[in-house]
Structure 1
Amino acid sequence: MLHFFSKKLFLKDLLEDFVDIHNHILPGIDDGAKNIKDSLSLIKKMKGLGIKQFIPTPHIMQGFYPNTDETIGNAYHNLLGALDSKQLKSITLNPAAEYMLDNHFESLLENRDLFTLKKDFVLVEMSYLQAPLNLESIIFKIKTKGYLPVLAHPERYSFYHNNLAYYKRLKQLGCFFQLNMLSLSDHYGKKVEKTASYLMEEQLIDFVGTDIHNEKHIDKISNLIVNKKTSENLNEIIKNTNRTFSVI
């Protein structure tokens, strides 16, 4: 329950039965959990935040993380095998992927061979250096192939920080926006925090995720304090995330 009459409002108070649509808890296949032990520890601590449904989203990134259905499936089954029956009954675990918008992604898209969050929602990201030159045509192609693009952490793309109007253009093109919880602090920098606030105030954010890679991220989320206005906006985004992606 939210402590509206206390001086501090903690983000974790909003997370009971949360569906986390963006995290890196599968073992050994990207820059998240290094092994099964790490995965189990992350799940335990995330459950402590109130998270009950997990959609792991390992990176698929040409030249860095060449993950496939097979590598993701193997990591998923290895993790399932390490969970005891009690743990398996208390959570749901349904893997997907976080796709870099690169040439490899376009090849997978052409063959409609994407690992979605749920139904036709596909989580995508861009380089932090610059957007693809053909970004708008890629978004159009994603849509024409029958997918719904969910842009991961739009607030973190610094090349849009001085061109905030372009976020509305991306929404008009059919992008859904997924906010990172830690962007509500200065974890990624003050400009990211400011942009996250702008996107929330403009009601441009559709979903929220943890983007957890390690225990430090969980500790920071656990201690993250938000003001009343932010908590009210975020509560609606969390509800929408849960409605859209829950499998229970």
Structure 2
Amino acid sequence: MRKLTTFHYVDIHSHILYGVDDGPDNIETSIEMMKIAYDEGIRKIVATPHYHPGKCTMGYEQLRRNFELFKEQMKDVCPEIELALGREIYYTSDILDDLEAQAHLTMEDSKYILIEYHPTVEYSYLRTSISNVMQMGYTPVIAHIERYMCVLEDWKLALELKNMGAVIQVNAGSVIGDSGSKVKKFIKRLLKEEIVDVIGTDAHSNGRRSPRIQECAKYICRKFDEDYAKALLRDNAERILKGEYLED
């Protein structure tokens, strides 16, 4: 087992729950993902299956049954890892109606929602959608902000979204260069300005997109002070799941 940093991590963005989206197809893969996560130092995982109108729209009751079954199956595999349930919502014009009709699209029944967009989304659309979601009383957690070209071209737009009240999430692999040098440089600037709020794995498999965070965590702990490192890798995720405000 790898040597860990002095604290464990919360993975706020993961597709570890099998049979519900484009994550693992079977329990065996989910088990392997869980073992990898444990070895990486993760002790809480938020399963965030996709919610995409017209594509991935599994109802909450069915999703909750699958999740509770998964939790029971995992007790003997990695009893030290706690599981929580959220969704990763793909923003479309229908989402506001869905949010109003379904209270169970949030992170552990909090007022936080994990929300994603098409990579080529226009900034005006992104900004307006964030405003719309917040007017409904929700706090948006922008999933893997490094994927959106409009923000990637101007890091100050990420700061503008954060100042609006959005929570900024980046993927662990992107921090260490898995998405290329341009993205790595972009995230480095966001981290330097303390714009990033949470880091997740966005894991989908036990292969190339597995729940690995340790290399990223070592980088964060080496480059930034302990309080910010803990906020990024554990504390802010815990606050989100409890429905608490993030500290400035």
Task: Report the TM range for the smaller structure's normalisation.
Answer: 0.7 to 0.9
Distance in 2 separating the partners of 1:143 and 1:14: 36
Do residues 124 (structure 1) and 138 (structure 2) align?
A: no
2:99 to 94, 106, 109: 109
SS in 2 for 1:217: coil
SS in 2 for 1:74: helix
Aligned to 1:6: none
Distance in 2 separating the partners of 1:139 and 1:242: 19
- 1:79 Cα shift? 1.4
Equivalent AA in structure 2 for residue 38 of structure 1? T
Aligned to 2:147: 156
- 1:127 Cα shift? 0.7
2:219 to 200, 209, 226: 226
Aligned residues between the structures: 236
- 1:190 Cα shift? 1.7
Aligned to 2:235: 240
Distance in 1 separating the partners of 2:58 and 2:181: 32
Distance in 1 separating the partners of 2:168 and 2:5: 19
SS in 2 for 1:107: helix
1:177-219 alpha-carbon deviations (Å, 9 max, x no partner):
0121111122112221111111111111111111111123347
Alignment of 1:1-248 (within 5 A): 13-14=4-5, 16-84=7-75, 86-87=76-77, 89-111=79-101, 113-118=103-108, 119-131=110-122, 134-215=125-206, 216-218=208-210, 221-223=213-215, 226=219, 228-230=222-224, 233-245=228-240
Q: CA separation of 1:235/1:79 partners in 2, compared to 1, >3 Å: closer, same or farther?
A: same
Q: CA separation of 1:50/1:63 partners in 2, compared to 1, >3 Å: closer, same or farther?
A: same
Give TM-score scaled by structure 2 length. Answer: 0.83
- 1:168 Cα shift? 1.9
Q: 5+ residue gaps in structure 1?
A: 1-9
Equivalent AA in structure 1 for residue 56 of structure 2? Y
Give TM-score scaled by structure 1 length. Answer: 0.83
Equivalent AA in structure 1 for residue 219 of structure 2? V
- 1:109 Cα shift? 2.0
- 1:66 Cα shift? 2.4
Percent identity over paired residues = 26
Q: 5+ residue gaps in structure 2?
A: 243-248
